[in-house]
Amino acid sequence: MSAALALKSLESLPRTPASDVKKLGWRGMMKAMARNGQVLVTNHDEPEAVILPVEEYAAILEVLREMSARDEAMLDNLRRKYDERLKVLQTPEAREKIRTILRRTLKLDGQVIAGEGH
């Protein structure tokens, strides 16, 4: 797995208003990012974007890919376990037993069959 990312919360990121993008220019914004690592761009004091180095963005993508692959592997494992448990129902004997049960007339005698006490 990739090295742990040093992601900060939005509240802890250095802020700059969107007007600074125009005032300082892109080069000025890149200098601010180089100084601080990440910069939160705000519009009327509301977060709008985060500027971060491309290496950090690539690292985030890599972690997300790894997490997705791990999740997919876990799901595949669960599917295999589930399929293994249900495999017994695919036998001719199980099919016939289920058909017999479903064809049987159910006698309720005015009672409801529900819950654990049935």
Tell me, yes or no, whether 58 and 92 share the same domain.
yes
pLDDT at 8: 82
pLDDT at 1: 43
- Intervals of the chain under pLDDT 70: 1-5, 117-118
Work out how many domains the chain is built from and give that number: 2
Query: How far, in Å, are 11, 25, 40 from residue 21 at the CA level?
Result: 20, 5, 11
Which is nearest to 50 in space by CA: 21, 4, 15? Answer: 15
Q: Does any domain span residue 117?
A: no
Tell me, yes or no, whether 58 and 74 share the same domain.
yes
The pTM of this model reads 0.60
Q: Does any domain span residue 109?
A: no
Tell me, yes or no, whether 42 and 61 share the same domain.
no
Tell me, yes or no, whether 86 and 75 share the same domain.
yes
pLDDT at 105: 84
Q: Is 15 exposed, middle or buried (0-12, 13-18, 19+ CB in 10 A)?
A: middle
pLDDT at 43: 95
Give the model confidence (pLDDT) of 32-48 as tens digits: 888 888 999 999 999 99
Tell me, yes or no, whether 94 and 61 share the same domain.
yes
Q: Which residues contact 28 (CB under 8 A, 6 or more apart)?
A: 20
Q: Does any domain span residue 110?
A: no
Task: Please provide the size of the chain in residues.
Answer: 118
